[in-house]
Amino acid sequence: MQPAGSGKGGAGGLSGLQALISRAGSRKRGPAPVEKWNPEYGGDLDMEIRADGRWFYLGTPIARKALVELFSTVLRRDEDGETYLVTPVERYRIRVEDAPFLAVELHASERGGEPVLTFRTNVGDVIEAGPENPLRFITVAENGGIKPYLLVRGRLEALLTRPVMYELMARGEEIEQDGEAVFAVRSKGAVFTIMPASELARLAVGEDA
DSSP state of 4: B
Instruction: Report the C-alpha gap between 206 and 186 in whole angstroms.
Output: 26
15-63 confidence digits (pLDDT tens): 455 665 565 454 455 789 999 999 999 999 999 999 999 999 999 999 9
The residue ranking higher by pLDDT, 84 or 13, is: 84
The dihedral over CA atoms of 151, 155, 161, 165, expressed in degrees to the nearest 10, equals 40
pLDDT, position 29: 58
Between 5-9, 89-93, 179-183, 203-207, the lowest mean confidence (pLDDT) is in 5-9
154: Cα within 13 Å, side-chain hemisphere: 23
**Fold for domain 101-208?**
duf1285 protein fold (2.30.270)
User: In this structure, how many other beta carbons lie within 10 angstroms of the beta carbon of residue 76?
Assistant: 20
The residue ranges of every structural domain in the chain are 14-96, 101-208
Instruction: Report the C-alpha gap between 49 and 57 in whole angstroms.
Output: 9
7-35 burial: b if 16+ Cβ within 10 Å, else e: bebbbbeeebbeebbeebeeeeeebbebe
Indicate if the pLDDT at residue 136 is higher than 50.
yes
144-185 confidence digits (pLDDT tens): 688 999 999 999 999 999 999 999 999 999 998 888 899 999
pLDDT, position 141: 74
pLDDT, position 39: 93
Please give the model's pTM, rounded to 2 decimal places: 0.83
Quickly state the pLDDT bin for 7 (edges 50, 70, 90).
very low
pLDDT, position 13: 46
**Fold for domain 14-96?**
duf1285 like fold (3.10.540)
